[in-house]
Amino acid sequence: MQLTRRSLLKSGVLGLGLFGLVGLNGCSTEASSGSKKGGDGETKKMTLWTWPEGFGEKLLEEVKTNLKQYDLSQNVIGGDFKQKLTTAFTAASGLPDVTGVKGQDLPFFLTQDKYFEDLNELGAKDIKDQYLEWKWDEATTHDGKQIGIPIDIGPTVLFYRNDVMEEAGLPSEPDELAKAIHEWDAFIELGKELKSKRENTFLIRNCSGMFGTIRAQSGKDFIDEDDNYIGDQEHVRHAWDESLKALDAGIVAKLQADTADTAAAVNDGRLPADFGASWHLADLQVDAPETKGKWRVCKHPGSPTNNGGSFLTIPKGVDDPKASFELIKFILNPKNQAYEYQDKGNFPSTPASYEMEEVSGPVEFLGGQKAAEVFGDAAKEVKPVFKHAHSDTVSAPFTAELENVESSGKDRDQAWKDAVTASKRMAEQVGLKVR
3-class SS string, 269-321 = CCCCEEEECCCHHHHHHHHCHHHCCCEEEECCCCCCCECCCCEEECECCCCCH
- What is the secondary structure of 4-44 as a DSSP string? -HHHHHHTTTTSS---TT--TT--------EEEEETTEEEE
| Per-residue pLDDT at 2 | 31
147 CB neighbour count, 10 Å cutoff:
24
Q: Among residues 325, 323, 297, 322, which one has the least CA distance to residue 312?
A: 325
Coil, strand, or helix at residue 48? strand
| Per-residue pLDDT at 93 | 82
Strands of the sheet containing 273-276, edge to edge, are 273-276, 157-161, 295-298
| Per-residue pLDDT at 283 | 87
C-alpha 23 chain-centroid distance = 23
Q: What is the mean pLDDT of each successive set of 10 residues along the chain, which is 435 residues long?
A: 39 34 34 49 91 93 96 94 93 92 96 96 97 97 96 96 97 97 97 96 96 96 97 98 97 91 94 93 90 97 94 96 98 97 91 96 95 95 93 97 96 98 98 96
End-to-end, the C-alpha distance of the chain in Å comes to: 43
| Per-residue pLDDT at 92 | 83
Q: Is residue 38 classed exposed, middle or buried when 0-12, 13-18 and 19+ CB atoms within 10 A define those classes?
A: exposed
Strands 149-150, 311-313: parallel, antiparallel or unpaired by DSSP? Answer: antiparallel
| Per-residue pLDDT at 376 | 95
Statement: the pTM of the whole predicted model exceeds 0.85: yes
Decide: 229 and 433 in contact? Cβ < 8 Å. yes
Cα–Cα distance measured from residue 51 to residue 201, given in angstroms and rounded to the nearest whole number: 36
C-alpha 348 chain-centroid distance = 11
